[in-house]
Amino acid sequence: MGTAASASRRGPILFRPPFAKRLVSLPYYLWRHGRTTVMWNLEPDSIAAIADDPRAMARQVADHVRPGSIVLLHVWSRERATSRAALPLILEALTDKGYRMVTVSELLSGS
DSSP letter for each residue of 43-65: -GGG-TTTTT-HHHHHHHHHHH-
Band of residue 99 on the pLDDT scale cut at 50, 70, 90: very high
Give me the sign of the Cα torsion angle 74, 76, 77, 81: positive
Strand partners, 35: 13
Report pLDDT digits (tens) over 60-93.
Answer: 999 999 999 999 998 888 888 999 999 999 999 9
Question: Residue 60: its pLDDT value, please?
Answer: 98
Q: Write down the domain spans for the chain.
A: 10-39, 41-111
Q: What is the mean pLDDT of residues 6-28?
A: 75
Whether the per-residue pLDDT at 107 is higher than 50: the answer is yes
Say what the pTM is: 0.79
Q: What is the largest CA-CA distance in the chain?
A: 51
